[in-house]
Amino acid sequence: MLLLSVLVFCAVFFAPHVKYHDPRTFFAVANSSRWLVLGEWASALCSFRILLLSLGAVLVWASIEEILISSKRINLAIWFTVLLFVPVMIFIAGLYFLFKAVL
């Protein structure tokens, strides 16, 4: 699972930038889309990268949680489960940006 998360992170960070003349982060490009402008594909691609980033974070969280459970650190594993809230919120933000860019 950890290897899969590394592959997802490589896909997110080593993919070519959408706008070659624009040095902003993909969060800023995804946030710059406007409602009622159909098909802002640069923002949609950056939103998809945000979704992949949160998926990679969930995979890292799950693999660390499995390591903690197997090493009998149950209390710490419970806290990692609570902290899973962060990548889930990033996933929801990515979905919002994706709907905003496409619709």
- Report the pLDDT value the prediction gives residue 21, as an integer from 0 to 100: 54
Instruction: Report residue 58's pLDDT band, with 50, 70 and 90 as the boundaries.
Output: very high
43 has pLDDT over 60: yes
Q: What pTM did the predictor assign?
A: 0.83
The reported pLDDT for the residue numbered 20 is: 54
Between 21 and 34, the higher pLDDT residue: 34
Helix or strand holding residue 48 (H, E): helix 41-70
Given this model, what pLDDT does residue 79 score?
87
- Cβ(30)–Cβ(43) below 8 Å: yes
pLDDT at position 22: 63
